[in-house]
Each structure stands twice: as structure tokens, then as C-alpha cells.
Amino acid sequence: MTKQKNNYFFLLIAVAFAYLTFGAITNVAGAIVPKIKEAYNVSGSASSFLASVFFIAYGLMSVPVGVLISKIGTKFTLILGSLITTIGVFMFASLPGYYANMAAMFICGVGITAIQVSVNPLVKDISNPAKYSRNLTLFMVLFGVGSYIAPHVVTFVKLKGFEWNYTYWIFTIVSLMMLLSVALPKYPEEKLSDGKEEKSKKTFAAMLKDPLMVMYATAIFLYVGVEVGVANNISLFLEDIYKISDVLGSNAEAVKNSTIANYWLGLLVGRLLGSFVLDKIPTKKAIQIYVSCAAIALACAIFSKNLTIALWAFPAIGFFISIMFPSIYGLAIESYKKEYSGMVSGILCTAIIGGAVIGPVITKVAEITGSVQNPNWYIGMLVAFACYAYIFSVGIWAKAKNEE
């Protein structure tokens, strides 16, 4: 077995590059929100929604992609996802306009969903058993590296004198490289579906009605929503509350993009250290401690009235929310028998659609309680605090149902 799995070295490299690529494409959104607002003369909530529509595709397509994999196999699903992603970023680069960009963002979301749902289990299939955890951790780090690099790409494009959407020309080239890299290597053989799925469909429907499953799915929905929502609103927040363009002048955009990048860097560092923390502290207790610290960091960013503190507070938020997804995901998986793991995973992945909802809600609440020109971010960010409060509650009610 070990010798066989060593034959997939080039596929491991391709998967690693895929993680880096879809990390960048997924999390460049925070840096382009103000660009969308300026370029198309729309409200902050409208620009935030366009950046978040990616996650609508994620929520809608996670389960169907899982079914597709069982029909056509991982290789062709991964290639198809890479092709769709390439088409999406090309459309974003070449077809300007608010609704055209929205359509392109949705297509990107469909493609990235197919890639991620394909590669997550593929890592296990092509890794030596002793190195699986190491490889998965490394790939998640590469996803974080892509997230960190993406806002700096926007800054780089501006420094070179190009329009902001040229960022997506760079992504088009990178996506083409990803498409070629996943199409060429050898893949392990798979047993495809024989069509006997009726029983699993009934079980899946029953899982959707289970109150505990609904509570876990809600936690993932709110977590992904607040993670993405805060990141996507950092630039608008710094502009409206701290008047960063007036304070820093021509350096303001680079500082805003660096702050967004540092938010993702904080999350990356937090995940690297999180495994050590979770070895020492029970998962439920760690959730309570970390999310409380994230709420304190957000309060510092909002209420400090000090730009320097705010610029440090946002990366701290990223650090302290870093363990939430794997912790909630792990608690949910442990709460059900092993044979239900795939269904639980599919439901939780669908709940990632929260990334499309919470960000625009934060901005819309700020605009309603203030105005489109002068949003009341103090009220809008209460949505984020409410999400943190629910996540804190997971550390109280979560339980391992299958051990009862």
C-alpha cells in the first residue's frame, strides 16, 4: 500500500497547488469590495453581497458535487471544477459590470466547490497513511498562504498602474496552470456509484430534521458567515470609521489590503498552533475561550478610536477564530455514528452558504441604522457579536451523541 501511494507524488503536488489557488480566489473578496463599490457606484451592502455570492454557489453545490463524484469519479470532477473556475475568473476579468461580475463570481464558486469537495477526500487516498495528517495540515497552510497573498496581488496590480480587475487576469493564468496540473497526473482507481441511493436519501432527509444536526449546521453557517463577513467589511470599516484615506493618503489602500491579508495570516497562524492548543484544552472549552477573545478583539477594533489598535485587532480576530471550523466540524462528526459521517459532512459543507449572508447583513444593518453614505458600523457589527455568542454556546451544548 505504501509503495503504491508513493506513485501519486505528482498528484500530491497538483493538489497542493490547487489548495493555494482556490485559497487566493476565495479570499481576495475583502480587497475588491471597495473597488466594486467605487467602480459600479453601488452601496456597501451591494458590493459586499457581490463578493459573498461565491458562497451561495458553495452552499447550493456541495451535496450535488458529492453525488457527481460518485457518478463520474474524483478525477473528472476535479478537472471539471478547475475548468469552471478558469471560466469564472476569465469572465470576471473580461466582462465588467456589477451583474456580469456577480455571474462570474457565482461560476467561480461552483468551480471552487467542485475542487474542494473533490480534493479533501483525495488527499487521504493519495497520501501514505503515516503522512496523511501532515499532508492535510500542509495543504490547509497553503490555502492560508493563498488567502494571505490575494489582497497583496490587488495592491501589486494598482502599483503597476492597471485597473483592479486585472487581478483576475492573473488568476486566469494561475487557474489555467491549475487545470493542467490536475489533468495530467495518475489518479487512484475508484468504484463508481451503482445507482442504489434511495436508502441514503431517506437517511439524509432524516438527518436534516435532527435538532442537534440543525444546531451544528447553524453554527457552521454563522461561523463561516462571520469569518468572511468581517474580512469583507474591513476596508469599508476602516474608511468610514477611521477615515484612513484622509489619514494615510496614497498609502491607505496598501494598508487596508495588508490588514485584510494579515487577518487571513492570523487565521493561518492560529490553525498552525491550534492543534497544539486542542491537545491541551478540551475542544468545548477552547471554543469558549477563543471566541471570547475574538469578540474582545472585535470590540477593540470598533471602539478603540485608535487606528493602530484597529490595524492590530483585525489580525487578532483572525487568529482567535482559527480553530472554530475544525472544532465545530469535529464535534459534529463525533456526535453521530461513523456510517453517517459522509452525510454530516455534506450538510456542514452546505452550511458554508453562511459566507454569502452574514457580511451583507452586517453592512445592511449598518446602512439602515445609519445611511448608505455614513453606515452605523457600531450597530452593524452587533451582528458579528451575535454570531460569536451562538458559537460560544456550542461549547456548552455540544455532545458526543454516539457515545451515549
CATH code for position 279: 1.20.1250.20
Tell me which of 183, 211, 232 is where a domain ends: 183
Same-domain check for residues 240 and 379:
yes
Instruction: Examine residue 255 and state whether it is found in any structural domain, yes or no.
Output: yes
CB 395 within 8 A of CB 263: no
Instruction: Examine residue 189 and state whether it is found in any structural domain, yes or no.
Output: no
Query: How much is the pLDDT for 132?
Result: 65
Instruction: Examine residue 89 and state whether it is found in any structural domain, yes or no.
Output: yes
Q: Which residue, among 77, 87, 258, has the nearest Cα to 171 in the 3D structure?
A: 87
The size of the chain, in residues, is: 404
List, for residues 242-276, the tens digit of each pLDDT value. 999 999 998 998 999 999 999 999 999 998 888 78
Query: How much is the pLDDT for 339?
Result: 67
Tell me which of 183, 218, 239 is where a domain ends: 183
Grid-cell match 498528484, residue found: 11
Same-domain check for residues 302 and 178:
no
Contact residues for 236 (Cβ-Cβ < 8 A; gap 6+): 33, 34, 37, 44, 47, 48, 363, 375
Instruction: Examine residue 290 and state whether it is found in any structural domain, yes or no.
Output: yes
> Does 46 or 128 have the greater pLDDT score?
46
Distance between CA atoms of 87 and 111, rounded to whole angstroms? 9
CB 74 within 8 A of CB 121: yes
Same-domain check for residues 8 and 147:
yes
Domain tally, the chain: 2
CB 372 within 8 A of CB 242: no
Same-domain check for residues 126 and 234:
no
Q: Which residue, among 49, 20, 242, 272, has the nearest Cα to 150 in the 3D structure?
A: 20
Same-domain check for residues 161 and 215:
no
pLDDT interval class at 6 (50, 70, 90): low
Contact residues for 63 (Cβ-Cβ < 8 A; gap 6+): 346, 347, 349, 350
Phi and psi angles of residue 95, each rounded to the nearest 5 degrees, phi first: -120, 90
Same-domain check for residues 216 and 292:
yes
Same-domain check for residues 179 and 296:
no
Domain hosting 238: range is 197-404
Q: 38-47, 77-86, 102-111: which range is least confident on average?
A: 38-47
What cell numbers appear for 117 in the block? 469537495
Instruction: Examine residue 86 and state whether it is found in any structural domain, yes or no.
Output: yes
Instruction: Examine residue 191 and state whether it is found in any structural domain, yes or no.
Output: no
Taking CA atoms, 213 is separated from 106, 180, 255, 331, 336, in Å, by 27, 39, 41, 11, 9
State the average pLDDT over residues 81-91.
96
Same-domain check for residues 226 and 365:
yes
pLDDT interval class at 44 (50, 70, 90): confident
State the average pLDDT over residues 175-181.
96
Over 50: is that where the pLDDT of 2 sits? no
State the average pLDDT over residues 104-122.
87
For 106, half-sphere exposure in the C-beta direction (CA atoms, 13 angstrom radius) is 9
Phi and psi angles of residue 210, each rounded to the nearest 5 degrees, phi first: -75, 120
- DSSP result, 218-275: HHHHHHHHHHHHHHHHHHHHHHHHH-HHHHHGGGHHHHHHHHHHHHHHHHHHHHHHHH
* pTM: predicted TM-score of the whole model, two decimal places: 0.83
List, for residues 349-402, the tens digit of each pLDDT value. 889 899 889 999 999 999 999 998 899 999 999 999 999 999 999 999 987 544
Instruction: Examine residue 83 and state whether it is found in any structural domain, yes or no.
Output: yes
Taking CA atoms, 26 is separated from 241, 244, 356, 361, in Å, by 26, 25, 12, 19
Same-domain check for residues 156 and 213:
no
Same-domain check for residues 372 and 233:
yes
Mean pLDDT of the chain: 87
pLDDT interval class at 195 (50, 70, 90): low
CB 271 within 8 A of CB 329: no
Same-domain check for residues 158 and 212:
no
pLDDT interval class at 101 (50, 70, 90): very high
Tell me which of 155, 183, 211 is where a domain ends: 183
Taking CA atoms, 48 is separated from 54, 123, 219, 307, 313, in Å, by 11, 33, 21, 22, 21
Same-domain check for residues 235 and 323:
yes
Instruction: Examine residue 365 and state whether it is found in any structural domain, yes or no.
Output: yes
Distance between CA atoms of 287 and 291, rounded to whole angstroms? 6
CB 34 within 8 A of CB 47: yes
